[in-house]
Chain A
Amino acid sequence: MGKLKHLLAATVALSLAGPAVAAAEDIKMGALATLEGAFTALGEDGLRGVKLALEEFDYMAGGKKIELITGSSDASPDSAIRAVRKLVEQDKVQLVIGPLSGSEGLAVKDYAKTQPNVTFLNGSSAAQDTTLRSPAENFFRFNTEGAQWMAGLGEYAYNEKGYRNVAVLAEDYSFPYTQVFGFLEPFCRLGGKSAIDARFWVPIGNKDYSSVIAALPDDVDAIFVALGGADAVNFLTQYEQSGGDLPLIGGSITVDQSVLGSKGKARSFVVGTPSAGPVSDTWDDPRWKEFVGAYQKAFPDGFPSPSLFAHAYYVNTKAALLALNEVNGDLSDGEKKFREALSKLSFETPTGMVSVDERRNAIADIFLTEVSEGPDGNLLNKTIKVIPQVNQTLGVSYDKFLEYGQVGRENPTCG
């Protein structure tokens, strides 16, 4: 009996030790992205960003070799926790890059609190509370979040476009709430209106927008649309077919390349739609152009131009590598030195300077764009303005910002 138990123990121990054989001096980096489910294409692009940063450093930082281990989730917080737990507790990674989507980010932040000796850097998740309320000491976010991405759009819609009353159409979860809040907060402060009953919340993957279109009030000047991917295409097509003629204002992923590249009449209809986000495809800055060139060279089968997911993962990975260089790969003492270096880091990214605030959330430039027709008939986002160094509290103090309350369907009320 005892012998058998021994044998079993040995077998199990052997099988457990299997995958994680590496030189002790290597640094293990885990990357968590959505490689299954609805966001697979986006997760894959996120990983391209990680690899691009690693290749730029030749998989070396602080004199040590970086070993990359991948984890996969399906965008649900449960699966993100299971994947990140495997990376940390089984593969013994010393730092994690990820996750991709908002609710995952909140879950991983909670998990980070239980693993004080591992440092977590965000992937592209953009929920506000990941860093705003009860942040984790060891969770860093070098990309900006959903409300920051809307910086300048509310003012632009009010001042330049002259809109006074807008309807809202968005998907019904945390990321669009954050975007709606980021747009409406300055818009309403200037005197704009958006009635609660003129805000429409649809489930992700909604196919039929006819009831929403029929219920749109007549007295609004524009519609703020925060839908992503196929949802945006469906709405635009149906709105155009039903003879809608209100101008649109887009969220960060509403009028991106995947929508503008689609065929059909909806294309011409969106010309002139303002939007804002952390990247701008057509920014003619050499830093951005160099990044796009490197991306296209390294991944011929990737997107025509790096998505904001590739960009966010790239920036976070690069931050980790730069900080590792600074501390010479010293991750002893609970990675204390490494975290200090991360907190003080301020570095050049393809979209300008990035640093983090005292809650470890990025302060970075935001791009205000407008859809226009390119010389060859293609639609593209023209960069109108770069809003420099937007912080998470959108210019007001932390305490004042907390008074605005948690993002949600009715925040701000703006009656």
Chain B
Amino acid sequence: MDSRGLFSGSFSIKDVHPAILITAVFLVAYPSFATDFFIFQIGAYSLILGTIALSLMMLAGYGGMVSLAQLTVAGLAAYLMAILGDNSMGVMGLGWPWWLTVIVSVLGAALFSTFIGAVSVRTEGIYTIMITLAVAVAFFYFVRQNYVLFNGFTGFAGVEPPTLFGIYWRDPVPFYYLTLTVAVGFFGAVYYCARSTFGLALQAIRDNPRRMRALGFNVTLHRIVAYFFAGVIAGFAGVLLVWFNGRVSPGTIGVDVAIDILVIAVVGGLRHPVGPFLGAIAFVLLENFAIDLIDRERFNMVIGTAFLLVVLFSPDGLLGLWNRFRDKFRFRGNALLGDERVSKNDPTSTGSLEKN
């Protein structure tokens, strides 16, 4: 949680913040006290959405590139799972073994993401959003119209995870741990990546691409590689998504859902990899329970208002809200340190829309 120790290079168990331990214990113990509904539809689904948003957070937070096509990348992986593996629609379904299908789907998604990166990295800010939005919309209409490969409007159903080690991986508890493993793995990878040479170079490029170019860095290549890594993350999330839903259709990757992913990342906070997961939990809880709070015709207003309030009072999302809250109640010295860090990071915290 604390980025001050980031660059020291040393790491010991004593540095682990108690909050991290509590969170870890909570996440592992969660299935022991939650109902199946909360394990599967709230827990696992939040983790999947969080992972997709994590790939966006990595691009936007560290690379300064807001891509609306991350869901499209995940969607391609989901479609590849249905096309190369098994489905119940009688279209495609080549029946490859599950491990090969997963590998090819994730790689396919990563290559697709690299391609999106290649066509969009020379643009900045709003133009990156426009290009990636165009890719997302084009892919949405393509899969809806294409019947030979993508089975058009209906899409695919009956896509199931394998039964492995005697466990059916779509049962709530195993599936929850599967998504948790993937999410935590990528969380750690992104966290580590931010401290690696590559990650530091990427953040420097975000802050001042011209200077980095003058220093001899290949700016374009760094950005494209970032898209590749983001594609791997989104691809895995796409595989989990199709296993979660058991199906994939154009509605899964519609523009409204792509914008949900952006909302999740922004509401959670783009400054730290935990942000997207916070955003995803808030989003999934609201999506499921807003309808119980208010008249059925107005429940989308509750969702919108909640997100509006978060963004209004904390431009860096739930994460920033928490930081502010913490800083207020800390010892004076610590508070000063915190403020200093917040202000140091501020230009990045509002995402990449602001150019430096």
Contact = CB atoms under 8 A, between A and B. Distances in A.
Contacts, number: 94
Interface stretch (A102-110, A282-290, A304-312, A395-403): A102-110
Interface in B214-244: none
Interface in B148-174: 152-155, 157-158
Interface in B253-298: 254, 256, 287-289, 291-292, 296-297
Which of B26, B247, B287 has the largest count of A CB atoms less than 10 A from its CB? Answer: B247
Nearest to B251: A76
A409 B151 CA distance: 12
Given A77-B251, A78-B251, A174-B154, A72 B291 contact: yes
B36 A72 contact: no
B287 to A, nearest CB: 8
Contacts of A47: 296
Nearest to B249: A77
A111 to B, nearest CB: 9
Contacts of B256: 74
A355 B287 CA distance: 37
Contacts of B245: 78, 81
Report the contact-size class of chain B (Cβ under 8 Å from the partner): 35 or more
A16 B300 contact: no
Interface string B285-326: 001110110001101100000000000000000000000000
B296 A70 contact: yes
Given A4-B22, A16-B38, A110 B157 contact: yes
A12 B33 contact: yes
A203 B143 CA distance: 12
Contacts of B288: 82, 86, 90
Taking chain B's interface residues, is the majority helix, strand, or loop, or is none over half, making it mixed? Answer: helix
A79 B251 contact: yes
A85 B37 contact: yes
Interface residues of A, number: 38
A214 interface: no
A5 B25 contact: yes
Nearest to B25: A5
A283 to B, nearest CB: 30
Given A89-B41, A173-B154, A203-B144, A78 B247 contact: yes
A142 to B, nearest CB: 23
Contact of A16 (B34, B145, B249, B297): B34
Given A5-B25, A35-B297, A103-B153, A89 B251 contact: no
A13 B33 contact: yes
A240 interface: no
Contacts of A75: 251
A9 B153 contact: no
Interface of B: 21-22, 25-26, 29, 33-38, 40-41, 45, 141, 144-145, 147, 152-155, 157-158, 245-247, 249, 251-252, 254, 256, 287-289, 291-292, 296-297, 299-300
